[in-house]
């Protein structure tokens, strides 16, 4: 199964993700979840970014929070709403929201 997971909270721990199993896991960072892609704590990136190589952050949510696309971790692909729709319909069989 190919699972796309929307992450909308910055306080989310990786425990929840560790319980998910999928042949392909994609994390789509939206709302406050975009802080995982832009914020470092004690010089370290969010541990959430270590869970998969399929990482996306919604550009509109980055900009609304006063952040810059240039601040996004290099492992994360910045996408717009149209790209998210394409991911949902073309890349993932199931979608979850955390």
From first to last of its 98 residues, what are the pLDDT tens digits of the chain? 899 999 998 886 667 778 887 889 999 999 999 999 998 888 889 988 988 889 999 999 999 999 999 999 999 999 999 999 999 999 999 999 98
* pTM across the whole model: 0.91
Q: How far apart are CA 94 and CA 4, in angstroms?
A: 6
Tokens of 49: 């970014």
Mind listing the pLDDT tens digit for each residue in 28-55? 999 999 999 998 888 889 988 988 889 9
DSSP string, 33-86: GGHHHH--BTTB--GGGGS-SEEEEEHHHHHHTT--GGGS-TTSEEE-HHHHHH
Answer yes or no: CATH 3.40.1260.10 is held by domain 2-97: yes
Please state, in angstroms and rounded to a whole number, the distance separating the CA atoms of residues 97 and 53.
18
Nearest to 6 by CA among 66, 38, 65, 54: 54
Cα 29 to Cα 9: distance, rounded to the nearest angstrom:
9
């Amino acid at each position: 199964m190919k699972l796309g997971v929307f992450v909308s909270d910055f306080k989310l721990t990786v425990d929840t993700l560790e319980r998910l199993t999928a042949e392909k896991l994609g994390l789509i960072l939206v709302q406050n979840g975009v802080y995982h892609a832009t914020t470092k704590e004690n010089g370290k990136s969010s541990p959430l970014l270590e869970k998969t190589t399929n990482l996306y952050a919604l550009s509109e949510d980055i900009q609304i929070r006063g952040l810059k696309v240039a601040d996004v971790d290099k492992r994360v692909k910045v996408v717009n709403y149209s790209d998210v729709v394409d991911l949902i319909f073309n890349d993932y069989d199931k979608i979850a929201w955390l």
